[in-house]
Amino acid sequence: MLNRFVEFINTGNEDLAHEVISPDAVFHAPSHPEPLRGPDGYLEVIGMMRSAFPDVQWTLEETVTEGDTVAARFTMRGTHDGEFFGIPASCNKISVQAMNFYYLVDGRIVGERGQPDLLGVMQQIGAIPAP
């Protein structure tokens, strides 16, 4: 199931979104103060990322599964070719890690809590100084 999810986030395919994400799903994203819901909510986050990083791709590095909960570590790579949190395009390449927890029911995602390395992104696009 997670392989289909990775295919979805790397393509933004709406049909895949409805296949892997429950209509009742709740997502907690650091980019949004309120939870997002269902496939359309997840497509909103993917759209935001693609507008800033049109070539963004996520690589699933490892997972740990316990029951219906999956912890996943991703590497996110892309080029900053659009505005991101008010920061104009820098054309810088980024490569950062993200740790997400997925909650599954009947093989579909019903929830996610994600922690992307936003500090790393902001440093790599030149918004804040790197150490």
pLDDT at 29: 85
Residue 11, CA distances (Å) to 23, 65, 104, 106, 124 in order: 19, 24, 21, 23, 23
pLDDT at 51: 97
pLDDT digits (tens, 9 = 90+) for 47-67: 999 999 999 999 999 999 999
pTM exceeds 0.85 for this model:
yes
pLDDT at 34: 92
Mean pLDDT to the nearest integer, 86-92: 97
Give the sheet arrangement for strand 57-66, strand by strand: 36-37, 21-28, 108-116, 93-105, 69-79, 57-66
pLDDT digits (tens, 9 = 90+) for 101-122: 999 999 999 999 999 999 999 9
Residue 124 in this model has a pLDDT that exceeds 90: yes
Percentage of residues in the chain with pLDDT exceeding 70?
100
pLDDT at 8: 96
pLDDT digits (tens, 9 = 90+) for 79-88: 999 999 999 9
